[in-house]
Structure 1
Amino acid sequence: MKKLYGVTTAMITPFNQDGKVDVEAIKSHTEFLISKGVNCLYPLGTTGEMLRLSVEERKLVASTVVEAARNRVTVFIHVGAMNQEDTISLAKHAHEIGADGIGIVTPIFFSANDRELEEYFVTVSSNVPSDFPIYLYSIPQCAANDITPEVAQKIAGRCENVIGIKYSYPDFLRVGEYLRINNGNFSVLPGADRLFLSALAMGCDGVVSGVSSVYPEPFVNVYSAYIEQKLDEAREAQVIAVQYCETLKNGSNMSYFKEALKLRGINAGFMRAPQLDLTDSEIEALDQQLKRLPPVSPLNV
């Protein structure tokens, strides 16, 4: 089964000014990311404003990304939704359209105990083929629910297609515990962009990065230098990546991602209400901050 690795980009979802999904902008953004050398695409997660889209809109975005990627990179669709039925529907759709796998966030907002979490993931897993890979997705600071290593191990023990986890909380002690699941054969990727190089050194397979949706270059540089065992270059690239993370608010507000992409000449569309686009003064301030950062050219050029 395929797995996520390297620079896995959590993609934005562009909307037209009237609030509709901008299909052409999604295609252009997909092409942009592939041209910059990312390894995997991960649409419709937190960066993709997942909960602001209907099930049908999410299927449209998923189909558009898979078709635009044309098997040139690995594509995992995030399918976690507010109820189990929608999650299963999105999971089945991802398999039907030829995605390489899926990610599933924990149930959101309402508290779920360990038994409920385990049964939720097992149920969704049973509704897709056993060779269709699944990543658990834990972002407790947003979802109100966490996946302990013990629960993750139970789920992986019952579901042969649950092969890893995206963990979006900056706790490296927990990361180390996840890495020991299935005797070390459990794929782990942090969602904290600023910890990419450190995570690689611990044994993680890569990062699921929202900032790389806008500036993939420093993250691609980190991974390329790391696998070539050029640690000084990897550290240099990580320092630059962190500067871009901080300037773009570490993914706490997707309007910064979209405006930064526009400043790069990429049509990233608009935000969907209730979140608003940046004001003109905020865009100008962002532009000036980005101009003061190091350039994002490849390290080896």
Structure 2
Amino acid sequence: MQSLIGTGVALVTPFKKDFSVDVEALKAIVNFQIDNGIDYLVVLGTTAESATLSKAEKELVIKTVVEANKGRLPLVLGVGSNNTQEVVEELKSRDFSDFVAILSVSPYYNKPTQEGIYQHFKAVAQASPLPVILYNVPGRTASNMLPSTIIRLANDFKNVVAVKEAAGDLVQAMKLIQNKPKDFLVISGDDMITLPMVLAGGAGVISVIGEGFPKQFSEMVRLGLNRRVEDAYKIHYLLADAIDMIFEQGNPAGIKEIFKSLGLSENTVRLPLVNVDENLAKRLDDFTVKISKM
């Protein structure tokens, strides 16, 4: 899965002020990623506010991204739920011809055991017509998919090809990298520790900050993969404050504020999310202006 090495971004779903999906803004955001060096696009991940999208809206987002992309970049589709059977049914019924892989989150809310997580992804792997990227994000799921469980899945199912590791634990990520099968990819799901993970042997990132500053962030990852450590860290420290800021009051409220500053979309989010406050909005706007002038 060479197409998953480098910088992927978890696309937002831009909304108009009336909370409807802004198709033209989504097209503009897709082109912004492609024009600025992003390697692949992830559709309907957490950052897309997919939990608040209707089935029809999800189909509209998929259609819009596919049409805007025009086959230029590999596409990954988020297909996950805490209902295993629901995921299996979607995998068996959906047309995946425009996608190279699926991204599937560890079951949330139910708080399964490690064996439960394994059995869930066993069912996903057996049903999926595409390679599977596991997604470990304990801050959202309330359960941590341990390295031993991830490695067990990678060894048992050839189509389990990668993990988006977003526990925010560099030691856990390094254990994964140390013990993974040779061709299995460990992808950062945490922007702040992306560079250390890449330098430790990770394959890149599925990023949030990367879609706001795609040129700089994708270059940092490329420099890291090429072991140009000092140059890569210069970019890391340039963007570090922005990484903190975009998550300060929740994702994707922060990154949508950057898109508003860039003139790409409104900053509208759907309840239960709310916009960032005026103080954070100003700090994000000031940062965006500063980077844009560099």
Tell me if TM exceeds 0.5.
Answer: yes
- Counterpart of 2:275, as a letter, is D
Aligned residue pairs total 294
TM-score, length-scaled by structure 2: 0.90
Shift of 1:158: 2.8
Matches of residues 258-269 of structure 1 in structure 2 within 5 Å? 258-268=256-266
TM-score, length-scaled by structure 1: 0.88
Identity value in percent: 26
- Counterpart of 2:153, as a letter, is I
The 3 A distance-change label for structure 1 pair 30 and 237 is same
Matches of residues 251-290 of structure 1 in structure 2 within 5 Å? 252-268=250-266, 270-278=268-276, 282-290=280-288
The 3 A distance-change label for structure 1 pair 44 and 201 is same
Structure 2 unmatched ranges of 5 or more: none
Structure-1 residue corresponding to 2:50:
50
Shift of 1:240: 1.1
- Counterpart of 2:33, as a letter, is L
Secondary structure class of the residue paired with 2:263 = coil
Shift of 1:257: 1.2
Which deviates more, 108-117 or 1-10? 1-10
Shift of 1:84: 2.3
Structure-2 residue corresponding to 1:142:
140
Secondary structure class of the residue paired with 1:198 = helix
Question: 2-side partners of 1:235 and 1:282: how far apart?
Answer: 25
Structure-2 residue corresponding to 1:40:
40
Structure-2 residue corresponding to 1:128:
128
The 3 A distance-change label for structure 1 pair 103 and 215 is same
Question: 1-side partners of 2:61 and 2:249: how far apart?
Answer: 20
The 3 A distance-change label for structure 1 pair 140 and 38 is same
Structure-1 residue corresponding to 2:77:
77
Question: 2-side partners of 1:110 and 1:31: how far apart?
Answer: 38
Q: Contact between 1:9 and 1:208, CA under 8 Å: does it hold in 2?
A: yes
Question: 2-side partners of 1:52 and 1:272: how far apart?
Answer: 7
Find 1:205's aligned residue among 191, 203, 206. Answer: 203
Deviations 1:207-257 (A, max 9, x none): 111111211122122123334543322111111121221232368332221
- Counterpart of 2:118, as a letter, is E
Matches of residues 58-69 of structure 1 in structure 2 within 5 Å? 58-69=58-69
Q: Contact between 1:245 and 1:251, CA under 8 Å: does it hold in 2?
A: no
Question: 2-side partners of 1:235 and 1:279: how far apart?
Answer: 30
Q: Contact between 1:226 and 1:234, CA under 8 Å: does it hold in 2?
A: yes
Give the superposed CA RMSD.
Answer: 2.3
Secondary structure class of the residue paired with 1:65 = helix
The 3 A distance-change label for structure 1 pair 234 and 284 is closer
Question: 1-side partners of 2:52 and 2:116: how far apart?
Answer: 25
Which deviates more, 273-282 or 212-221? 273-282
Shift of 1:277: 2.7
Which deviates more, 63-72 or 83-92? 83-92
Extract structure 1 runs of 4+ deviating beyond 4 A. 92-95, 279-282, 293-297
The 3 A distance-change label for structure 1 pair 251 and 296 is farther
The 3 A distance-change label for structure 1 pair 109 and 101 is same
Deviations 1:173-231 (A, max 9, x none): 21122224453331001111111221111110001111112111221221233345433
Question: 1-side partners of 2:244 and 2:277: how far apart?
Answer: 19
Deviations 1:86-125 (A, max 9, x none): 3234445665342111110011112101221111111122
Q: Contact between 2:248 and 2:254, CA under 8 Å: does it hold in 1?
A: no
Q: Contact between 2:3 and 2:40, CA under 8 Å: does it hold in 1?
A: no
Structure 1 unmatched ranges of 5 or more: none
The 3 A distance-change label for structure 1 pair 92 and 8 is farther
Secondary structure class of the residue paired with 2:47 = coil
- Counterpart of 1:72, as a letter, is R
Question: 2-side partners of 1:250 and 1:62: how far apart?
Answer: 29
Structure-2 residue corresponding to 1:18:
18
Shift of 1:141: 1.5
Shift of 1:61: 1.7
The 3 A distance-change label for structure 1 pair 123 and 2 is farther
Which deviates more, 209-218 or 79-88? 79-88
Matches of residues 107-118 of structure 1 in structure 2 within 5 Å? 107-118=107-118
Secondary structure class of the residue paired with 2:48 = coil
Instruction: Establish whether residue 30 from structure 1 lines up as the match of residue 30 from structure 2.
Output: yes
Matches of residues 87-102 of structure 1 in structure 2 within 5 Å? 87-92=87-92, 95-102=95-102
- Counterpart of 2:41, as a letter, is L
Shift of 1:26: 1.5
Shift of 1:13: 1.1
